Structure 1
Amino acid sequence: MSCILTEAADDQAADARERIEVLRFSTDDLPADDRYRAWYMRDWPRAQPIYRTKPIEPFDTRWVSAQLGPVTFARVEITAMRWERRLADVRNSDFDPVVISLMKSGEAQGDFDGRPFHETPGTFHFHDLGRASLHVSTASLTYNLVLPRALADQWFGPLGDLHGLVVPTDQAKLVFALAEQVSDLLPTLEAEQAERLGRMFLEALAVALAAVRPKQSPPPSARAMLRRRAEDRIEERLTTGELTVEHLCDALGATRARLLAAFSADGGVRAYILIRRLERSRHALTDLERNEPVGAVAHRLGFSDAAHLSRAFRDRYGMTPRQYRDLLRADREMSPPGGE
């Protein structure tokens, strides 16, 4: 008898657990002439209309939605429609979430702020309500996730490349499977599960997005930026004598330690400058028509004299500047006319 009473108490406790609140909207019971206006003027998810819409066929719709932590989940059946959000609408609205729309059945295409857009069954796309868009959809069944901008930026930022991005079928399967399960179980799900379910959607979206999003190069480090500035300065002053570590530190506003660290892979700043001067010298020697004297090349590129250039050139290239130039001449004389 006590076991029966315990089981009955457990059943009552389970029944008493708070369920996720499910909101429903349908035009099924409304007169046909009243359906579109009733849907357009309803106060979900905002009191003011979000889009400029125009039905393409007799209007009908059914919506089921729930809040999963900060993520809004909705199952939407709706007839063919034209959807537009202009820049003026964006400026006049404080509602700018990112919407992920999963196309279970139907099709949509249009232009998302200059990006061509085409969504087919089994795919989903990202829609940034902080940007303009225009698209046309057939009668459709979609699952929709509405993410506050701060949450979307935290998980998927930067958001600039997401507006109108369509995730193909293979990469979208996991998100669809979760959406269908949540949709089926929504009336029975407990409120304490909402946060976890919302996070599951975010995790699944992150997996899908990582598979299709172009890889973004990380921003350059402070050391890389200093090196790039130093390289530009070196190129500008390579033919002058005023090119020392001290000069670069003063010009770039950098400490000696930071500058040396930026060129550590090259053996230091002086080693890098020498390599660049030798490469410029080699390029000058290839101009056989000009035939600039080796001493002149040395003077122009910051070497103390022709002997200094010859020693450094031989150390790097295994021959003197004159030997290198003689080799180029011999190669040219041996090449038949036309280069064949």
Structure 2
Amino acid sequence: MRFQTFTTQGVALKERYEAWRERAWPSMAKMMRTDKPSGEFYSHIRSYQLGSMVLQEARMTGQTYTRTSQLIRSDGMDGISLGVSLAGRVHGETAVGSYKAGPNSVLFGDLSAPYTHNSTNAHYVTLVFNRKDIQRLVPHIDGLHGLVMTGKDAAPVVRQVTSLLQQLPDASDETGAHLGDGLTGAFLSLLNSTGTVSLSEEAHLSRLRTEVRWIIQQRFREADLDVARIAAMSKVSRATLYRAFSDGEGISAYVTRVRLQMATAALADSGDVRLISEIALSVGFDQVCNFNRAFRRIYGCTPRDWRHHSRTIGAAA
């Protein structure tokens, strides 16, 4: 997956802030005012584009951001942010008060509202969502700017983001977009847990789709993973499950796609010496003939042809 990266590692201590500041990214100089630190300063940042969402992972200390009303008027940035604190601490001020966030906490932010944000030895992940995408599902999200969530409320998002950071370096752009959809669902679940907003029916269905996709990603190897089992694990009726997946790819089709994606990766791996039948069973198909039929329907060739072609190209490269 494509990403941008920046680090002050190897830069002299006295020159780090200026080296960081002179970069439009990641200093975000056009949308933030920053103050030169009086003490230690470092910044290691990596940014990914997940569909319409931006994910930025940062390890930093000594940074102070201020988003002013003047900057808001001039740059037109209007996203909703979710900050996930994994280590260290951050604190800041909004128009209605101050906030503090330590490890394993989540902070809501609104880029259309002023605030100041400080970091100390922080490992911090920022997710920036398109406001229109969120408001389509949650029409009224006022009053969340600067809200910090901790403990069991924040734990699901913290776990998902931590897992995601391990997956992203090897993920494709297409997979990244799907992972972004999953984070949107996690964001909606977190909004719902605040008790301060009312989710639309579509938002509830979007959240359900995220949960179901997560279940499938974890259990696709189980041959008996069918709609009835998934509905039971999701604690909804099969009718609700079908409704959640009615507008796009069906739930059974999604299970098949996940299994086939894992199979194609194994077939292309020259170090994987298993028989094709063994690979088929390992990714959740109960019969090899069903695997062959699904593979040909999706990829237009047999698994054997795919393996030969993929490994021939790999050897030539």
Same fold (TM over 0.5): yes
**Equivalence for 2:43:** 61
In structure 2, what is the Cα distance between the partners aligned to 1:58 and 1:46?
17
Q: String of CA shifts for 1:172-196, please: whole Å, max 9, x gaps.
A: 1111111111211222112221221
Count of residues paired in the alignment: 199
Would the aligned equivalents of 2:49 and 2:55 in 1 still touch at CA under 8 Å? yes
Q: Do residues 94 (structure 1) and 95 (structure 2) align?
A: no
Could you tell me which of 27, 49, 68 is aligned with 2:8? 27
Q: TM-score, normalised by structure 2?
A: 0.58
Change (3 A) 1:187 1:215: closer
Would the aligned equivalents of 2:4 and 2:46 in 1 still touch at CA under 8 Å? yes
In structure 2, what is the Cα distance between the partners aligned to 1:79 and 1:86?
21
**Equivalence for 1:73:** 55
In structure 1, what is the Cα distance between the partners aligned to 2:56 and 2:41?
19
Structure 2 counterpart SS, 1:163? coil
In structure 1, what is the Cα distance between the partners aligned to 2:61 and 2:179?
29
Q: Which amino acid aligns with 2:145?
A: H
Q: Which amino acid aligns with 1:32?
A: L
In structure 1, what is the Cα distance between the partners aligned to 2:185 and 2:13?
41
Could you tell me which of 171, 174, 182 is aligned with 2:156? 174
Alpha-carbon shift at residue 101 of structure 1 (Å): 0.7
Would the aligned equivalents of 1:57 and 1:79 in 2 still touch at CA under 8 Å? no
Runs of 4+ residues over 6 Å off in structure 1: none
Would the aligned equivalents of 1:74 and 1:145 in 2 still touch at CA under 8 Å? yes
Identity of aligned residues (%): 24
Alpha-carbon shift at residue 38 of structure 1 (Å): 2.0
Unaligned runs of 5+ in 1: 1-19, 219-340
Change (3 A) 1:159 1:181: same
Matches within 5 A, 1:1-340: 20-44=1-25, 48-54=29-35, 55-215=37-197
* Bigger mean CA deviation after superposition, 185-194 or 123-132: 185-194
Structure 2 counterpart SS, 1:76? strand
Would the aligned equivalents of 2:48 and 2:55 in 1 still touch at CA under 8 Å? yes
Unaligned runs of 5+ in 2: 201-317
Would the aligned equivalents of 1:80 and 1:140 in 2 still touch at CA under 8 Å? no
In structure 2, what is the Cα distance between the partners aligned to 1:217 and 1:23?
34
In structure 2, what is the Cα distance between the partners aligned to 1:115 and 1:150?
26
Structure 2 counterpart SS, 1:106? strand
In structure 1, what is the Cα distance between the partners aligned to 2:144 and 2:125?
18
Structure 2 counterpart SS, 1:139? strand
Q: TM-score, normalised by structure 1?
A: 0.54
In structure 1, what is the Cα distance between the partners aligned to 2:120 and 2:139?
31
In structure 2, what is the Cα distance between the partners aligned to 1:79 and 1:121?
14
In structure 1, what is the Cα distance between the partners aligned to 2:160 and 2:30?
29
Alpha-carbon shift at residue 132 of structure 1 (Å): 0.7
**Equivalence for 1:321:** none
Structure number, greater radius of gyration: 1
